[in-house]
Amino acid sequence: MDAAKYIWMNGEFKPWHDAQTHVLSHTLHYGNGVIEGTKAYKTKDGYAIFRLNDHTTRLKESAKMTLMDIPYTVEEMNEAQLELLRRNEFTGDNVYIRPFAFLGYGIMGVYHKNAPVETVMAAWEWGAYLGEEGLKSGIKLKIASMTRPANTSNMGKAKATANYLNSQMAKYEAIDCGYDEALLLDDQGYVAEASGASFFMVKNGQIITPPNDNSLVSITQKTVIEIAQDMGYEVIHRRISREEVYIADEAFLTGTAAEITPVRIVDARTIGKGSRGEITEKIQSTYFDIVFGRNEKYKHYLTYI
């Protein structure tokens, strides 16, 4: 990864390599931590963070779900992220921001109430998550052999580090089999989400995306629904089965890091023409206009640093 200059840790800016923790930190052993993935783009008026308040609010809510008390308000964490971008003096087109909270050193054993909560905001320049070529030509998606854990035994709506063991296993399997990304079904066999992004498909002009029954409540998914409806498309939030994915006219993934990534193959079936679909392309170009500050109507989603 590309190191930056500073990381905000527990209220202070530290040089990148000095933001450290003890090897006996609680989260390293028992996996309770919460993360965000937020992105800033270089607009003609400088860097602007996309939907900053929504991301920071989700971090606070994830922490509430996993019983961690982050000792900073959403406003304080928003300000820390803005100042982080100013101090790091980035130059690239976009910057990925990783706010997170974890349990630090001092307590062992599963019961975590007395473990100290450490709060961190880091940022660095990061290229396209699923590759530049993926954004243009589409990626190959494999339905993972593992499903998302059932709602009776996990909290998929928390952006909790523990949930990413499931994502990691699925992603590793997909890449090992020659694909680019994994699509996970829920425990009932319906599409849940990709390992780090949400799923959309197009059939007969309708745009369909799964409800968030067993997935993160994605900020990009909400944005894409709004964009598509504004363009006059009908967007349906409903369960999707595996077979429907195979015969979709178009498919794409959405996420802060994945942005709008077309899907060209799922499990050896070619989707549509096997390239970026027409509706996908329209949504993708509108999304980039929005995040780069070129669309007045959505300017309220940008916080300039």
| CA neighbor of 214 nearest in space, from 273, 155, 268 | 155
Sign of CA dihedral 168, 174, 179, 183: negative
Burial category of 28 from C-beta neighbours within 10 Å (exposed 0-12, middle 13-18, buried 19 and up): middle
Site string for ligand PMP, 36-65 (x = CB under 6 A): -x----------------------------
Which range in 7-15, 118-126, 195-203, 292-300 contacts ligand PMP by CB under 6 A?
Answer: 195-203
Using CA atoms, how far apart are residues 47 and 197, in angstroms rounded to an integer?
24
How far apart are alpha carbons 81 and 100 in whole angstroms?
11
Stretch that binds ligand PMP, among 6-14, 104-112, 189-197, 263-271 (CB under 6 A): 189-197
Measured from the CB of residue 158, what is the shortest distance to ligand PMP in angstroms?
11
209 in contact with ligand PMP (CB under 6 A) = no
Classify residue 132 as exposed, middle or buried by CB count within 10 Å of its CB (0-12, 13-18, 19+): exposed
Residue of 80, 84, 202, 219 interacting with ligand PMP (CB under 6 A)? 219
Residues 6+ apart with CB under 8 A from 244: 201, 203, 208
State the Cα–Cα distance between residues 162 and 22, nearest whole angstrom: 19
Asked if 290 is part of the footprint of ligand PMP (rule: CB under 6 A), the reply reads no
Asked if 283 interacts with ligand PMP (CB under 6 A), we say: no
Q: Among 60, 157, 159, 171, which one carries the catalytic annotation?
A: 159
Q: Which of 32, 81, 198, 261 binds ligand PMP (CB under 6 A)?
A: 198
Smallest distance, Å, CB 33 to ligand PMP?
14
Q: Is 286 in the site for ligand PMP (CB under 6 A)?
A: no
Residues 130 to 169 in contact with ligand PMP, rule: CB under 6 A: 167
Specify the residue, 119 or 218, whose C-beta has the smaller distance to ligand PMP. 218
- Check if 159 is active-site: yes
CB 118 within 8 A of CB 85: no
Query: Are the beta carbons of 262 and 251 closer than 8 angstroms?
Result: yes
Binds ligand PMP (CB under 6 A): choice among 220, 261, 280, 284:
220
Q: Which residues are tagged catalytic?
A: 159
Q: Which residues bind ligand PMP (CB under 6 A)?
A: 37, 167, 193, 196-198, 215-216, 218-221, 255-256
